[in-house]
Structure 1
Amino acid sequence: MKCSDLRLAQKECPELKLLDVRDVSEFMANPWKETINISLGRLSYVWDQELKTDDSVVIVTPKRSAGFLAARKLKKAGFTSIFYLQEDCTACNSLQRASMN
């Protein structure tokens, strides 16, 4: 999925889940609004606390390899609607910074 498609997809599917698989320390230093943070190492163990297998999930991470690993883990868990965000959306404001206040 390209950055330009993200907002359109969110309008068409409001229950679309954005999954940030960065490490917690990276996430807290630079959080994004509307994302669920589950670090890649914990994903196999705690995904069911935030996600259901019938959810449509967009994986958000600056590391392409981490995105593919996360997709593989989710597919193994039974997810069928998985997307990977190919671009860094921070430049176009598709992903907004979360306020830590």
Structure 2
Amino acid sequence: MDIAIGAAVLAGIGIWLYRRHVPARGMKLLNAAELPQLLCADSSVQLLDVRDYLEYEAGHYPNAINISLGRLSLTWHKHLDKNKPVILLASAPGEAYSAARYLKRKGFRIDYWVICHASSQDCTVPHQCCA
């Protein structure tokens, strides 16, 4: 009996580690410098910033929607359109992977994600769209 419980606990930890560190299928890491070009090419893209509120307030991309990972399951339906693709802005890969898996289960298309560090200006640069 103790061996079965131990095996179940180890399996649970393994699943958690897998989900935390293995990328969601179909997503590509995008350099923050490439983001303006992508936004110009497709104006229907939704920018979802899943960083916490303080990181978002320290600097964020114009028109990005901030829903921290912990609130995503409660408020996504108020702010996001399933018919439009989403680009995730996150402070760490695990954050992006978790958000992507959740949103893909809800029917969203997520092709790209960008790492936004609080110490840099990567995700705060305003962009000029193509004419």
Q: TM-score range by the shorter chain?
A: 0.7 to 0.9
Tell me which residue corresponds to 2:35.
6
Deviations 1:40-87 (A, max 9, x none): 011112111111111111110121110111111110111124421156
* Alignment of 1:43 onto 2:43: no
In the alignment, what sits opposite 2:27?
A: none
Return the structure number with greater helix share: 2
Distance 1:87 1:41, change over 3 A: closer
Which protein is bigger by CA-based radius of gyration?
2
| Distance (whole Å) between structure 1 residues aligned to residue 111 and residue 99 of structure 2 | 10
Instruction: Tell me the TM-score normalised to structure 1 length.
Output: 0.78
**Equivalent AA in structure 2 for residue 5 of structure 1:** E
Structure 2: how far apart are the matches of 1:78 and 1:9? 22
Contact 1:19–1:37 (Cα < 8 Å) also in 2: yes
In 1, are the aligned partners of 2:51 and 2:68 still within 8 Å (CA)? Answer: yes
C-alpha distance in structure 2 between counterparts of 1:12 and 1:6, whole Å: 10
Confirm or deny: 8 A CA contact 1:22 1:38 kept in the other structure.
yes
**2:49–2:64 contact (8 Å) kept in structure 1:** yes
**Residue 131 of structure 2 is aligned to residue 90 of structure 1:** no
C-alpha separation in 1, matches of 2:121 and 2:85: 21
* SS at 1:85 equivalent: strand
Structure 1 unaligned residues grouped into runs of 5+? none
Q: Number of residue pairs matched? A: 95
- Give the Cα–Cα distance (whole angstroms) in 1 for the partners of residues 110 and 99 of structure 2: 13
The 5 A counterparts of 1:65-80 are 65-80=94-109
CA contact (8 A) 1:21 1:39 kept: yes
